[in-house]
Amino acid sequence: MASNGPKSQSQPSDSTSAPPKSQKTMSKQERRELQEKQRAAKEVAKAQPAKGAKAANKPSQASQDNQSSKKPSKAAEPSTPSLGASASAKSLNATSASTSQHNLTGTEAFGLRIFSHFGAIKHPSGPAKGDIHPAIVRLGRQFAEFAITGANARCIATLTAFQSVIQDYSTPPNTTLSRHLTTHLSHQINHLVGARPMSVSMANAIKHIKVEITNSDIDMPEQNAKDELCHKIDLYIRDRIIVADKVIRTTALRKIQDGDTILTYARSSVVEKVLLYAHSKGREFSVIVVDSRPMLEGKGLLSKLSSAGIRCTYILLPALPSIIDEVNIVFVGAHSMLSNGAVFSRAGTAMVAMMAQERSIPFVVCCETYKYSEGIHLDSFTKNELAPLSVSIPAASSEEVQSEPNLQILNPLYDLTPPTNITAVVTEVGVIPPSSVSSLPFALGRQFI
């Protein structure tokens, strides 16, 4: 931020709705008002973002302002609460120029200096570009707000949305479905990716659909072709996700003995199914749900399991060492598995794996084969995703944290568990060691998963 200093000093705050006035000449009140306005604008920007490219040449104005007005604002805070509220109310009507500018400065200030390659969190722009299907627009919103999370849930939601896209699609003249539909879908996909980076599960599923589309018969009547594609999507969901989960839970059941204490981290839909199934089959076991900020997904799992009558313990990740000795087996889910046997999963999983391996506790990953990813990552930094601020900071403290100029919020969503720390991967083709993950495509007799 220091490098930006002189540049932004030379630029007066002309883009805001305040009169063009140098900061030094502002009164304390005025500066305070300006700052409040900017914060409110940031809030607006987060809820209703716009394209930020226009303001790219004025990157760190807000943070510069924050820095200069930090001390006075702290002093003024208790005395002028009503002023702050009115200022933010006023600035809701701020021009779109200032909105876009602060959107950018906001993301710049929060955590993208080191990990900028993870990509800023772009929100789907309100009026969708091009011909975006309403189902996709809605889905994009749900992805961006983290209303739908989890590799399986996102994949199923995407595929279901694609079915309505395909059904509502009509081939333009002078082209064929098998050629044009893929480009049409690509626009929809781009919109979704803008909302949240694509999961490996979605990428594999989309690859599959695109192949199906290009393979569809040119001479087939359009409605038949669309019906057939929708049917194939249904089959994909059934074979690769739903049936796979059923096979995984029966396989995993054999690894659960009476009296076991099972540890799981965060929330995986597959692990949830495994545990509920084992309980329904009369296995007597107890579960330790380990959870961690910022998402605290384990709470959902906890309520599901305990309402099913499974004895549960809920702890946060820092308490893991004190409880790990009680554990017989660890089950976790995965975002994707890589061809070197490493597993990409919710941030914190690697730590659990390391600790389990150190105590020789079997660490078992439950993962459908469609989450296989050809690539190899050696660490969690080459590819990851950042949790948006709305997810990572509780609403109450969010304003305070954001006004802190030297504070970056960085919450990677995933981490990489190295194959050495994984005992086994339960897939629908059986229990395999991580070293055999790379032979899965051969085992399935496919070029790709």
Partner 1 sequence: MSPRLAPPSVVAAQTISESSPIASPPFDIIAAYRRILNDDSISMPVAAILALVELIEFSAAGTTFELVQALTDGAEQLKSRTPNSISLSAGVELFVAFVTLFPHESDSFDDLKAELVSEGRKYAQEAQTYRAKIAEFTFKFIKDNAILTHSYSRVVMHALLHAHKHKRISVYVTEARPRGLGIKTCEALTALGVPCTVVLDSAVAYLMDKVDVVLVGSEAVVESGGLINAVGSYQLAIIAKAHHKPFYALAESYKFHRLFPLSQYDLPTHTPNILSFPRAPASTPPPTPARGLSSTNLGHPPPASASMTSDQLARNPEVDYTRPDLITLVFSDVGILTPSGVSQYLVGMFAG
Query: Interface residues with partner 1 (CB under 8 A)?
Result: 255, 257, 329, 360, 362, 364, 423-424, 429-433, 435-436, 438-440, 442-445
234 contacts 251 by C-beta, under 8 angstroms? no
Helix, strand, coil shares of the chain as percentages rounded to 5? 55, 10, 35
Residue 121: DSSP 8-state: -
Give Cβ neighbours of residue 346 (< 8 Å, ≥ 6 apart). Answer: 265, 266, 295, 297, 333, 335, 413, 414, 415
Q: Which is nearer to partner 1, 103 or 421 (CB)?
A: 421
Q: Which residues of 15-43 are buried (b: 16+ CB within 10 A; e: fewer)?
A: bbebeeeeeeebeeeebbbbbbbbbbbbb
Q: Which is nearer to partner 1, 270 or 364 (CB)?
A: 364
Q: Which is nearer to partner 1, 214 or 435 (CB)?
A: 435
Joined together, the tokens standing for residue 186 give: 């690509």
The Cα–Cα gap between 334 and 366 comes to 7
What angle is formed at CA 293 by the lines to CA 291 and CA 294, rounded to 5 degrees? 130
What angle is formed at CA 427 by the lines to CA 259 and CA 266, rounded to 5 degrees? 60
Q: Minimum CB separation from partner 1 for residue 349, in Å? A: 18
Task: Respond yes or no on whether the N-terminal peptide bond of residue 294 is cis (omega within 30° of 0).
Answer: yes
Q: Minimum CB separation from partner 1 for residue 443, in Å? A: 4
Q: Which is nearer to partner 1, 137 or 330 (CB)?
A: 330
31 contacts 69 by C-beta, under 8 angstroms? yes
Q: Which is nearer to partner 1, 318 or 433 (CB)?
A: 433
The Cα–Cα gap between 183 and 394 comes to 40
Q: Is 160 exposed, middle or buried (0-12, 13-18, 19+ CB in 10 A)?
A: middle
Chain center to CA of 33: 35
Q: Minimum CB separation from partner 1 for residue 248, in Å? A: 13
Q: Which is nearer to partner 1, 195 or 424 (CB)?
A: 424
Q: Which is nearer to partner 1, 86 or 439 (CB)?
A: 439
Q: Which is nearer to partner 1, 309 or 433 (CB)?
A: 433
Q: Closest Cα partner for 447 from 374, 357, 354? A: 374
Q: Which is nearer to partner 1, 389 or 422 (CB)?
A: 422
Q: Minimum CB separation from partner 1 for residue 265, in Å? A: 18
The Cα–Cα gap between 370 and 355 comes to 28
Q: Minimum CB separation from partner 1 for residue 326, in Å? A: 16
Q: Which is nearer to partner 1, 144 or 288 (CB)?
A: 288
Dihedral sign for Cα atoms in the order 175, 176, 178, 182: positive
Q: Minimum CB separation from partner 1 for residue 262, in Å? A: 12
Q: Minimum CB separation from partner 1 for residue 206, in Å? A: 23
Q: Minimum CB separation from partner 1 for residue 254, in Å? A: 9
Rama region for 445: left / alpha / beta (φ>0; ψ in -120 to 50; rest): left
Q: Minimum CB separation from partner 1 for residue 394, in Å? A: 39
Q: Minimum CB separation from partner 1 for residue 363, in Å? A: 9
